[in-house]
Amino acid sequence: MRFIRNSQCGPVSLGDDRAFSFHSSLDGYQPTPLHQCQLDHLHFWAKDERVRMGLPAFKILGASYAVFRKLQSQGLPEGCSSFPEMAAWLQAPRPQLVTATDGNHGRAVAAVARWLGLQAHVFVPEGTADQRIDAISSEGAQVHVAPGNYEIAVQWASQRVSDHVWLIQDTAFEGYTQIPQWIAEGYSTMVAETRDQLGHRTPELIAVQVGVGTLAQAVVQLAAKYWPDARILGVEPERAPCLYASIQAGTRVQVDTKHTSMTGLNCGLLSANAWSTLRDGLHGSMLINEVEAERASRSMISMGLPTGASGVAGVAALQRIQNEFPDWLGTTNLVFLTESINESDEFKDL
Ligand SMILES: Cc1ncc(COP(=O)(O)O)c(C=O)c1O
């Protein structure tokens, strides 16, 4: 079936939109567009994160907010919230930023480091496409290829940590929860903007893609505040089903992953912070395969909104729902186009 209705749903802690004030105070801030889309008889709204703060994915929302909060925790004065002000405040010994990534998050951390005049080290899994490595290096970061998958890259990055080397990771694990929490709060800016853009409309169905689950955590927590009646569906590649397996098992489990075109979603273990929120707040978990992702990608190209494979996963889910579970569709359905298309997202392994 590749679809589980979650019978364990319950209350979740409500998100807050403080990061929205931070992001909207930044120089050059622009909310990303919300498009009203139609594909045959399927109607939905697509929050377009293909360009966010000059980068090709939503991830910069989390990295920028988490580094801001980390600096505040180190004494950054109240009211000092632009990147030039933060850069001027930082004194020697200046920290380095380190992270692990499937692509987009690492580039975002590298960009924040560049804005602050800091060195960044970014660990990527073996087999990461050259274009993704080049994109991270183009921000001035040093890229290191870890000898294994995403989880190994996270371990390698975390071994670098010291007083002056800060891990800015988007997944939580034992003893490391604060930064991923701030990253989730940073992502909530896109949900806050969507609420303003939808106005009186209330989404009945939200399909959100899941890698380590931090994005979905942000969506679930803020939707609980804005749209408590919305049904929320977590969407993953069939080849990296860590949420699906965890919901099935009733506990967070690690799964083996295989290569998928949805690179950003290729994670074998959910964030420790995200799991309980997703267990309680998601109404279903859906797996999509490479063919479905490719079809969704072609659909978005036909609409003039070319989107990377991880970015169209929510659209692929709506297309499946329309065919197989139409009672799940509402009048207002919402997805997030989380990244722009790049050459390494060719669907060549079908
Ligand atoms: C384009 C894109 N969409 C969605 C996600 C999923 O976010 P998360 O890992 O927080 O679940 C990622 C993660 O890297 C991504 O790169």
Q: What confidence tens digit (pLDDT) does each residue in 57-76 have?
A: 999 999 999 999 999 999 99
Q: Which two tokens stand for residue 174?
A: 């034992």
Catalytically active residues, by annotation: 59, 102
Asked whether this chain's domains 3-59+180-343 and 64-169 adopt the same fold, the reply is yes
Q: What is the pLDDT of residues 233-286, one digit of tens each?
A: 999 999 999 999 999 999 999 999 999 999 999 999 999 999 999 999 999 999
Q: Which two tokens stand for residue 325?
A: 């579970």
- For 126-155, letters b (16+ CB in 10 Å) and e give eebbeebbebbeebebebbebeebbbebbe
Query: What is the CATH topology of the domain spanning 64-169?
Result: Rossmann fold (3.40.50)
- The single-letter DSSP state of residue 57 is B
Residue of 104, 337, 345 with the most ligand 1 atoms within 8 Å of its CB, for mutation? 104
Residues forming a β-bridge with 286: 3, 235
Helix/strand/coil percentages in the chain, nearest 5: 40, 20, 40
**Cβ of 101 below 6 Å from ligand 1:** no
Residue of 183, 209, 257 with the most ligand 1 atoms within 8 Å of its CB, for mutation? 209
CA distance 45 to 334: 5
Q: Which residues contact 243 (CB under 8 A, 6 or more apart)?
A: 210, 213, 216, 234, 236, 270, 278, 282, 285
Beta pairing class for 96-100 and 165-167: parallel
- What percentage of the chain has pLDDT greater than the value 70? 98
- Class of domain 3-59+180-343 (CATH, top level): alpha beta
In ligand 1, the atom with minimum distance to the C-alpha of 213 is: 11
CA distance 137 to 224: 38
- Write the residue with the smallest CA distance to atom 15 of ligand 1: 264
Answering whether pTM is above 0.85, one says yes
In ligand 1, the atom with minimum distance to the C-alpha of 57 is: 1
Q: Which two tokens stand for residue 213?
A: 């689950």
Q: Where are the domains of the chain?
A: 3-59+180-343, 64-169
Instruction: Give Cα separations from 57 to 46, 138, 227, 251, 307 (angstroms).
Output: 14, 15, 24, 30, 10
Determine contact, residues 183/66, Cβ cutoff 8 Å.
yes
**Cβ of 102 below 6 Å from ligand 1:** yes
Q: Which two tokens stand for residue 128?
A: 């990461």
**Cβ of 105 below 6 Å from ligand 1:** yes
CA distance 105 to 215: 12
**Cβ of 264 below 6 Å from ligand 1:** yes
**Cβ of 338 below 6 Å from ligand 1:** yes
**Cβ of 52 below 6 Å from ligand 1:** no
Q: What is the mean pLDDT of the chain?
A: 95
Q: Which two tokens stand for residue 250?
A: 């009733």
- The single-letter DSSP state of residue 163 is T
Determine contact, residues 103/264, Cβ cutoff 8 Å.
yes
| Residue-by-residue pLDDT tens, the chain, 350 positions | 799 998 778 899 999 889 999 999 999 999 999 999 999 999 999 999 999 999 999 999 999 999 999 999 999 999 999 999 999 999 889 999 999 998 799 999 999 999 999 999 999 999 999 999 999 999 999 999 999 999 999 999 999 999 999 999 999 999 999 999 999 999 999 999 999 999 999 999 999 999 999 999 999 999 999 999 999 999 999 999 999 999 999 999 999 999 999 999 999 999 999 999 999 999 999 999 999 999 999 999 999 999 999 999 999 999 999 999 999 999 999 999 999 997 555 554 43
CA of 265 to the centre of ligand 1 (A): 6
CA distance 161 to 224: 35
- Write the residue with the smallest CA distance to atom 13 of ligand 1: 264
Instruction: Give Cα separations from 215 to 70, 178, 219, 329 (angstroms).
Output: 19, 15, 6, 22
